[in-house]
Chains A and B, each alone.
Chain A
């Protein structure tokens, strides 16, 4: 097991820049998740670590070794592909043992390792089957098993769960995490599903358009998103964002949004009065308030999920989502009043999108 260090990595396809200088330190035994919208360059970065894409500039180090020019086969990494990439003409056993056979390891040793991995993954009774005869979840496990037998320095995952149905995805998510806690192999995991990222990661790397937006633990990203992009990307449903202007008068500080509505913010922001800002509040942090003190909103849509109620409402020309765990009988057209606790408020500069 070892660390992975990425220094100033760039990637060009022809004249098109796909990655614009990525710096990232992945510690030994860490589980890092790369997340971002489609096309932002996650797979490209992962494949560069794997040695499947050439490096346009910058350095990639696995442990102490710069691997830019080391071919994939000598990097001592294992990878699980989105479509599993199981060898269709080999049995499960042969798939899992392929890498060991290439390394000319002893037969008994290979057998022991394959059976060990198979028992961890509940594949023991499928070893003689061909990949065609397996379900999606089983194939996924075989792909994992192929990585597992290797004792590789680093595990790489490229959206390994995206071809599974929702239920199975949750199960496998937990299994992969449990596996990591047991093996402690340094892992880089690509997904565009932020819930997967939040639940699995030691640290999350949020990427957008070939750049890193923020690196941090799941809670850091949730509590203090560095900018509007991260704020919007992490959390589901997304954070409500309301553009407005910061005002201060006689000790009171507020953001004035369309229709002249005033949203109170912490007094610390008084110095920025007059600045164009974006006010952010997560749906789960909104509170119901009295008609006197709260901000008035008109209910548009009510969606009960069982566990909670999601309410979509109109506020000063914008729309806002609020989540309540208590049961309320709201109907479209109702007027409700909300309060936004100061500690949960996020403020961003409207021009740069950066957190204030």
Chain B
């Protein structure tokens, strides 16, 4: 009886998560093995046919390739900006509170809204980005930013970086603020310069946080639909499609449920690998910090 108390406490949340997150996975596995009519009705067992169809589809491979580029550049770009920003925000300077608020601001705005605003700001005729760039004399003709796939994709990557900065900076700041002050003092006494402190103390101690920020960002960016969906819907001519936008079109535009389910499962597999990586990273960090004062139930 005593032993069942903690179990009773976790069961409601477990059931909820199982139903809403576990069940759809099973359903996807089922759907991916079904033949689907043109009207989205499942009409019978199809074995691996849907997967075969996905793998024979040039658009899938293009989207996959673009997903890789998208994820890589957004994650790397985000980290390249966030690390120095986090280090600055962790230091003491006039207006630090304000700086923190501003840097975190994009986090509070939904990706949809951000993308809508950028879509307008990048408008080829009247967009205010063109206004700004013309005012300071960088361009003298308005540029149609979203009209060609290659520029549109670059712009989307930049927006992707912008919206990922707050989260990443937060994780890194958490790591920095947990860093023992006396280590720095000891290093200063030992005569370490600023660069040496960074290279030999900050960076090694930050490594677990950087790793975790990378893995989490990979997962989030890999899955992110709204920016590309709202700004270009994967267009023009599928030129900015990544897996999630392609998947969404297949499922809800073209009614190719079997194929969409197959792609979902493939993505699920990729995510699983990332998740296991994350679990490994986290549990390695936890071994030292495990609370041992847990009591028996």
Contact = CB atoms under 8 A, between A and B. Distances in A.
In the complex they form, do A and B come into direct contact, defined as C-beta atoms under 8 angstroms apart? yes
Interface of A: 13, 53-54
B296 interface: yes
Interface residues of B, number: 2
A53 B2 CA distance: 13
Contacts of B295: 53
A241 to B, nearest CB: 35
A53 B295 CA distance: 9
Contacts of B296: 13, 54
Contacts of A54: 296
If over half of B's interface residues share one DSSP class (helix, strand or loop), that class is named, otherwise mixed; here it is: strand
3 closest cross-chain pairs (CB), A and B: A54-B296, A13-B296, A53-B295
A53 B296 CA distance: 9
Interface string B280-297: 000000000000000110
A177 B296 CA distance: 35
3 contacts: A13-B296, A53-B295, A54-B296
Contacts of A53: 295
B272 to A, nearest CB: 32
Nearest to A52: B295
Contacts of A13: 296
Interface in B244-297: 295-296
Nearest to B2: A54
B35 to A, nearest CB: 54
A54 B295 CA distance: 10
A54 B296 CA distance: 9
A168 B296 CA distance: 36
B294 to A, nearest CB: 10
A13 B297 CA distance: 12
B128 to A, nearest CB: 51
A122 B295 CA distance: 36
A13 B292 CA distance: 12
A13 B294 CA distance: 11
A158 to B, nearest CB: 14
B296 to A, nearest CB: 7
A10 to B, nearest CB: 15
A13 B295 CA distance: 9
A123 to B, nearest CB: 30
A50 to B, nearest CB: 13
A149 to B, nearest CB: 27
A159 to B, nearest CB: 15
B291 to A, nearest CB: 15
B6 to A, nearest CB: 15
A141 B242 CA distance: 66
Interface in B223-261: none
Nearest to A47: B295
A328 B296 CA distance: 58
A179 to B, nearest CB: 30
B117 to A, nearest CB: 44
A53 B293 CA distance: 13
B1 to A, nearest CB: 12
Interface string B56-70: 000000000000000
B154 to A, nearest CB: 54
A315 B296 CA distance: 51
